[in-house]
Amino acid sequence: MKRSYIALSEPRCLFYVPDFGPDEVTKDLSLSEDAHFILRAKLPDENGKEKRDVIYAGVADGVGSWREYGVDPREFSSALMRECENNLREAAAQGGKKVEKGDEKFRRQITPAEVMAQAYQRVKADNIIGSSTACVSMFDGLRHQLHFSNLGDSGIIVLRHIDATIAGTLKRNTKKGKMERYSDLRIAFVSQQQLRSFNHPYQLGWTGEELHGENTSFKSAAESCTTSIHIRRGDIIIMATDGLFDNVELEDIASISLEWEEKNGFIRDGDIAAREKRWEAGSSMTNQSADGVTGLAAALVQRARENSLDKSIDSPFAILAKENDIMWSGGMPDDCTVIAMHVVGQPSATGIIN
């Protein structure tokens, strides 16, 4: 099986700061209640044999209501993502996670849920008060799979060109004829959110003591939604906090992503066949993807900002609020962190993507 590689954006973040006016924005990472990490780790496969590069990424959204209790919401989310990265670096240095199976002992990759759980335990051990949603993913280019664990209302979507020749009956577009469709870039997967109630996500958290029972919003990493998705060459993966999904419709995310593809020459006039021919000729445009994917993350964050300040529209957040008998119009100003990933077919000759 050929190995797929992934081009990752530097996360684009947008934060609203209480000390500023309602229309002010900052890009100072230290002021955000969101946090993230991206790490490439060399770890063994599940048989503990060949080591290969595996890409991990994560986003976390600190719960802002902690400010009412004199707690800085940034500390918990930042510590959680920092410990995720620390755990992975340590696992890579030790040759992977130690596993005993009968009389056999070997090391393997560490799963996203394990990364999250170990980071959570370390944050609690350091007695860092607060709480956060969390989403941690792992991209396996050899097997063309994206594994992730998500707790709360951050999430992952996968965009894919699904035309009539490969869609099958269940996935085909029945609203428009083929000649009327400009593009077949569609939402192939949307991760599941975990909400206790409207605008009240489940989260990892610590008050200084363990909380139990159904009345708490705190959950463990083991209770996160854990899923594996088959990834195809050419897919676009968007990993983000709720600042994106509360303000930008999924169809608009797909449209922005298509504009990015066309601007960078990955797709021309919606012609998927031409892309297939380019791939067969050995042109993956890997370097262009590495150089340009940051622009996609930036475009999505910019649209989230614009929509969040627009009082004339009904954002996804506003629509959901009204469905829960809460009168809300316009967008939802919030921190927004986006990691954009573009799956390509070959490693970059310059070593940008591995």
Quick check: is 339 in a domain? yes
Quick check: is 353 in a domain? no
The model's pLDDT over 114-143, given as tens digits with 9 standing for 90+, comes to 999 999 999 999 999 999 999 999 998 888
15-24, 177-186, 188-197, 244-253: segment of lowest average pLDDT: 15-24
CATH classification at residue 184: 3.60.40.10
Quick check: is 329 in a domain? yes
Q: Helix, strand, or coil here: 305?
A: helix
Between CA 250 and CA 229 the distance in angstroms is: 18
Quick check: is 215 in a domain? yes
Instruction: Tell me what the pLDDT averaged over the chain comes to.
Output: 82
Between CA 123 and CA 206 the distance in angstroms is: 8
What predicted TM-score, i.e. pTM, was given to this entire model?
Answer: 0.86
The answer on pLDDT for 173 being more than 90 is no
87 Cβ neighbours under 8 A, 6+ residues apart = 110, 115, 118, 119, 122
**Quick one: pLDDT band at residue 20, thresholds 50, 70, 90?**
very low
Quick check: is 350 in a domain? no
Is the separation of the CB atoms in 219 and 132 below 8 Å?
no
Instruction: Looking at the chain, list the stretches that DSSP marks H as alpha helix, in order from N- to C-terminal side.
Output: 73-93, 112-125, 168-171, 242-245, 250-263, 272-280, 286-308, 316-323
**The pLDDT value given to residue 149:** 97
Between CA 224 and CA 229 the distance in angstroms is: 16
Quick check: is 352 in a domain? no
Residues of the domain holding 151: 5-344
**The pLDDT value given to residue 100:** 56
5-9, 124-128, 279-283: segment of lowest average pLDDT: 5-9
The answer on pLDDT for 240 being more than 90 is yes
- Which comes out higher in pLDDT, residue 215 or 79? 79
Quick check: is 349 in a domain? no
**The pLDDT value given to residue 196:** 85
Q: Helix, strand, or coil here: 160?
A: strand
The model's pLDDT over 45-72, given as tens digits with 9 standing for 90+, comes to 766 667 788 899 999 999 989 999 999 9
Q: Helix, strand, or coil here: 332?
A: coil
Instruction: Looking at 126-235, list the stretches that DSSP marks H as alpha helix, in order from N- to C-terminal side.
Output: 168-171
- State how many domains the chain has: 1
68 Cβ neighbours under 8 A, 6+ residues apart = none
**The pLDDT value given to residue 27:** 61
> Span 13-19, mean pLDDT?
44
> Span 175-196, mean pLDDT?
74
Percent of the chain topping pLDDT 90: 49
Quick check: is 82 in a domain? yes
